Amino acid sequence: MYAKRLDKPGKVKLSDYDPGEHAKLKKEQGEEKLAELGAELAALQELMYGAGQHALLVVFQGRDTSGKDGVINKVIGLMNTMGCSVSSFKVPTELERDHDFLWRIHARTPAKGEVGVFNRSHYEDVLVVRVHNLMPESVWRARYAHIVHFEELLRDAGVIIAKFYLHISKDEQEKRLLAREAEPKKAWKLSPGDWKERGYWDDYTQAYEDALGKCAAPHAPWFIVPSDHKWFRNLAVAEALVETLRPYRAEWEARLAAVGAEQKTALQKMRSEAASG
């Protein structure tokens, strides 16, 4: 698998993972593979929608410029967008701050059959909040357990969860920030705060290592995605999503067959009643 899958709590060291990894593939090969995976992903999504038993929640986290917007466009865009909803979580509003941190998140979780995509998520509440001391330590520390329980609740309600950490190097981030500065068409993406956040690189590393290490579970795995190469990042995310959904294929197909059979019986009954009446 191209991304590293973490599915149980443990110690995570991000420096163990190479953000520039590309599995010896060339860009063209990667794009071909992505197209194939995209077709399978769309087919699996359609089965999930038809079966109506599960939802898929996809979480994207990563530092500024790591490619959260890009991967949503390129990979989620391969699915039927009618069945997808994307939620981007920003600095909480006053109303949101007057509730518990999961209130605004829970409201955006996907219904059965649907795909919910989070561009940032509840994890900001143990990342930016921790790095900038926006809440006392006792508050953010308690949140790891809240998050674990919340994700268990979602699992019990039929939500399949895949969480992605888009892993970029410090050098690559500098390049991307400079590119945003230099190109008028990209400038809207740059906020002066991004350079300031970069100054907290090591604090974010520590916060991410804890978030990944404490909140990885079999039903809610984290995937560490090498993201210095955008095309490889897209490929790795698509592959992880396909592998996440594949195990459900037989179950969904069986459900669809059962629904089809029920429908046929109902139609036959209706027609024979119409004929005799």
Query: Which residues contact ligand AMP (rule: CB under 6 A)?
Result: 89-92, 120, 124-125, 128-129, 134
CB 98 within 8 A of CB 129: no
Minimum distance, C-beta of residue 134 to ligand AMP, in the bound complex (Å): 6
Nearer of residues 70 and 92 to ligand AMP, judged by Cβ = 92
Of the pair 210, 239, the CB lying nearest ligand AMP is at 210
For residues 143 and 152, what is the distance between their CA atoms, to the nearest angstrom? 14
**Closer to ligand AMP by Cβ: residue 204 or 232:** 204
Work out how close the CB of 71 gets to ligand AMP at its nearest, in angstroms, rounded to a whole number.
Answer: 13
Residue (204 or 222) nearer to ligand AMP, CB: 204
Minimum distance of ligand AMP from residue 65's CB (angstroms): 9
Residues 63 and 202: beta-carbon distance below 8 Å: no
Task: Provide the residue type at 274 as one letter.
Answer: A
Burial class (CB in 10 A: 0-12, 13-18, 19+), 92: middle
> Sign of torsion, CA 255 257 263 265?
negative
User: Which C-beta is closer to ligand AMP: that of 5 or that of 108?
Assistant: 108
Q: Could you tell me the smallest distance in angstroms from the CB atom of residue 33 to ligand AMP?
A: 28
Query: Which token pair is 154?
Result: 């979602």
The angle, 0 to 180 degrees and rounded to 10, between the axes of the packed helices 201-214 and 137-156 is 40
User: What's the half-sphere exposure (Cβ side, CA atoms, 13 Å) at 253?
Assistant: 8
Q: Please give the helix or strand (H or E) that residue 62 lies within, else none.
A: strand 55-62
Report, in Å, the least distance between residue 14 CB and ligand AMP. 18
Residue number of the CB atom closest to ligand AMP: 124
